[in-house]
Structure 1
Amino acid sequence: MSRAKRRVPFWDNARFACIVLVVLGHATQRLTYDSDIALGLYLVVYAFHMPAFAIISGYFSKSDAPSKRQMARVITDILVPYVIFEGIWTLTKWLVEGQANPNLTEPSWTLWFLLALGIFRLVLPYLALLRWPLLWTLAISIGAGYLPNVDSTFSLSRTLGLLPFFTLGWWLREHDIVDRLRLLRDRPWWVFVVGGGLFTVAGFVAWVFIDEFRAMNLREWLFYDANYSSIGGTQWWAGGVRLALMAVAIVLSAAFFALVPRRTHFWTHFGQYTMYVYLLHSFVLYPFRESGVLRNLDPTWLWLPIVIVLSVLIALGLATKPVRTVFRPLIEPRPGWLFSDPMLAGREGRRSDPTGSRRPREAPRVLPADPRQNG
């Protein structure tokens, strides 16, 4: 089979590992108020997991002038699901909390990433025209933090903050870095040691300096969701903090990719359905987060592993076929009536995850790994 049609297990493994970290980060959030260990884990996860997701999304994005079908997919795969799930969240909050404030300009919880993906796709062809696009997006990300009017409206603050990672992913593909350096083929033993060592160091630093990180409100810095002054960065050099955090994100993302399995596993094909997990897991976690059952859990050494295991199980469960069958009309809608040419809405079975995972018409089938990818 040609290279263009053969799925590379690594990328599906990386997608699924990222989405597990997304669930884990949200699941442990309430534990961080009562446990330094949980907060340390939370900070390490948030230091890189969304940047890594943005890198993957950028790697599979095209900078060419979009075709009509590609433009339609921004609407069907991103904008329409965004409107649908904003409506569902408004109804949920009204039923549970007795009040709701419908506002499409303010994304609910996890929905900000949908808007970010849409904006990434729209601006990439323009960025590709520039010399040094990585430097421009880096300047945009750092500069946006100084502007108080760049906020969570249409998730603009996070979009601009994470734009360099998305652009980096595209740049790696554009310059064929992964193939030229044989990054998916050769993985000597020391790569595992270095990758594991980097996460060990990150965990150790998070543990030792946990009080300092709590005092500086580090978690807010890792969200890329607020201007510097609103989270305590009133000094002129506050942009240097973001620059340092972005460097840490790239290093930890590289370590993460180095540790991601290259071979096919039973969970590999779930990496094609990360958007199901992303959009649905918040509804699974919502009652636990809001009821307070995740507060004051002691001892941490018992409850934290339980939460980790449950996060993995939630991600696995939400990517299964029965769940996809039930929720496909909401997550992968086919609004042919919306277009002058109904065919632009796409046909069943030929869809692409907004993060870049194209799925075949037939039932998903992952080919065996290339023997050269062992390691």
Structure 2
Amino acid sequence: MPFWDNARFACVVLVVMGHGVQRLTYDSDISYAFYLWIYAFHMPAFAIISGYFSKAASPTRRQMARVITDILVPYVIFEGLWTLTKWLVEGRADPNLTQPSWTLWFLLALGIFRLVLPYLALLRWPLVWALAISIGVGYLSNVNSTFSLSRTLGLLFFFTLGWWMRERDIVQRLRLIDFRPWWLRVCAVAVLATWAFTCWRWLPFWDDIDLRYWFFYDDSYSDLTADQWWAGGIRLSLIALALLLSACFFALMPRRALRWTTLGQYTMYVYLLHSFVLYPFRESGALRDLDPTWLWLPLVTLLSAAIAVLLAWRPVRRLFRPLIEPRPRWMFADPSLSSRTGHRSDPTGSRRGAGG
């Protein structure tokens, strides 16, 4: 269904935009507000999509092998590339596979989600348990960014929700994709616009409470200077906000196939490669002290979207496929488990033909 590929690609474009404008936030309130607007829902929406295309049944041998080839091997490869990059540019190298570099946390999160989901599916109220884990992990200061565990568990509810919706056939039974009258889309635009205004209007307050770090779902409540018993209520509120904004985001996604729809089948190329494109601009200071904002923010936003399209372009995919979709036959006792026969899958769940 084109809708899901459209939504998947739109999410990864927001990821690139968020990383692209991050340096602008130090010098521009509007850029900071735009950054908060994106981070309130883009990764929760991505996790929902990933969960929607996940299965809780016992995995087959081939599915188990794809966790290795599609998630673990690319993670090791790109951690190695980041170690080399930091050594060449910054003169330091601290290889540590337990601490994901920049965007690589999401690869580990996808792997952990798949490991946890079958156990959650055995429980009577999987959504309630997932929500309890997502909120409760914030109280544990010893659960940190090692193997991106704190962030993964913080976003677990969204991934489980996506799976639950598919398992209960919620989307089809309630016609959530087909039923989108004009007034619903107007309401979705109004909600997203209201959140944008809220980000800008009370920006000093959001900055004082470090709202951007709350949106990462990474730090414990004590690290966010909110170690009171009610701190979990803040995360619960942010989860509710993310669900509302994600619903509005999905309501505005086109249902038909567009020129860029197929790019949604290659989101991992964009996700894993864009950080290397942005790294020189972020580290060189080229994105600091840019004025006027009305010129540079739209320009950086458009360039971020162009980067996403470029990195999903077929020649780029052909060049980097050995790194992003490796097939290390030598690793397996049964080499056929890493063969290229049948369909290929993006780790977020998109399926395509073997020749994709």
The CA deviation string for residues 161-195 of structure 1, in whole angstroms up to 9 with x for no partner, is 00000000000000000000112222110111011
Equivalent residue, structure 1, for 2:344: 351
Q: Secondary structure at the match of 1:234?
A: coil
Q: Matched residues in 2 for 1:184 and 1:220: separation?
A: 32
Residue 361 of structure 1: how far off its partner (Å): 2.6
- Residues 249-282 of structure 1: CA deviation (Å, up to 9, x unaligned): 0000000000011111110000000000000000
CA contact (8 A) 2:177 2:251 kept: no
When normalised by structure 2's length, the TM-score is 0.99
Matched residue type, 1:81: P
User: Can you give the 5+ residue segments of structure 2 that lack an aligned partner in the other structure?
Assistant: none
**1:48 and 2:51 aligned:** no
**TM-fit CA distance, 1:45:** 0.4
The residue number in structure 2 matching 1:161 is: 154
For 1:216, give the aligned amino acid. I
Q: Deviations over 1:93-124 (max 9, x none)?
A: 00000001000000000000000000001111
For residues 235-274 of structure 1, what are the structure 2 equivalents within 5 Å?
Answer: 235-274=228-267
Aligned-pair CA distance for 1:349 = 6.7
TM-score scaled by length of structure 1: 0.94
Segment drifting more, 233-242 vs 208-217:
233-242
Contact 1:277–1:319 (8 Å) recurs in 2: yes
1:3 alignment partner in structure 2: none
1:175 corresponds to which of 157, 162, 168: 168
1:299 pairs with 2:279: no
Tell me by how many angstroms 1:234 deviates.
2.3
SS of the residue 2:345 aligns to:
coil
Q: Deviation string for 1:223-246 (max 9, x for gaps)? A: 011101112212221111101000
Larger deviation, residues 257-266 vs 344-353: 344-353
Q: Could you tell me how far apart the structure 2 residues matched to 1:184 and 1:137 are? A: 25
| Secondary structure of the corresponding residue to residue 228 of structure 1 | coil
* Residue identity in the other structure for 2:133: I
Q: Tell me, yes or no, if structure 1 residue 233 matches structure 2 residue 232.
A: no
Find the aligned partners of 1:218 and 1:263 in 2 and give their Cα distance.
36
Conserved? CA contact 1:280–1:318, under 8 Å: yes
Q: Who is 1:88 aligned against? A: 81
Amino acid of the residue matched to residue 89 of structure 2?
V
Q: Shift of residue 346 of structure 1? A: 2.8
**Offset of residue 350 of structure 1:** 2.7
Structure 2 CA distance for aligned equivalents of residues 312 and 335 of structure 1:
32
Residue 141 of structure 1, CA deviation: 1.0
What is the CA–CA distance in structure 1 between the aligned matches of 2:178 and 2:125, rounded to whole Å? Answer: 29
What are the within-5 Å matches in structure 2 for residues 182-331 of structure 1? Answer: 182-331=175-324
How much has 1:325 moved relative to structure 2?
Answer: 0.3
SS of 2:54 mapped into structure 1:
coil
Gaps of 5+ in 1: 1-7, 364-375
Measured in 2, the distance between the counterparts of 1:167 and 1:70 equals: 19
Q: Deviations over 1:207-238 (max 9, x none)?
A: 11100000000000000111011122122211
- Once superposed, which parts of structure 1, at least 4 consecutive aligned residues long, lie more than 6 Å away? none
Report if aligned partners of 2:109, 2:152 keep a CA contact under 8 Å in 1: yes
Corresponding residue for 1:5? none
In structure 2, which of residues 53, 57, 61 is the aligned counterpart of residue 60 of structure 1? 53
In structure 1, what is the equivalent of residue 107 of structure 2?
114
Q: Deviation of residue 348 (structure 1)?
A: 5.5
CA RMSD, 1 decimal: 0.9
- Number of the residue aligned with 2:95: 102
Match of 1:340 in 2: 333
- Asked if 1:33 corresponds to 2:26, the answer is yes
Distance 2:228 2:294 in 1: 38
CA distance in 1, matches of 2:88, 2:335: 35
CA deviation map 1:23-52 (0-9, x unaligned): 000001101111111111100100000000
Worse-matched range after superposition: 346-355 or 319-328:
346-355
Tell me the secondary structure at the aligned position of residue 231 of structure 1. Answer: coil
C-alpha contact (below 8 Å) 1:57/1:355 kept by paired residues: yes
Matched to 1:140, the amino acid is: I
User: How many residues are matched?
Assistant: 356
1:133 and 2:130 equivalent?
A: no
User: How far apart are 1:327 and its partner, in Å?
Assistant: 0.2
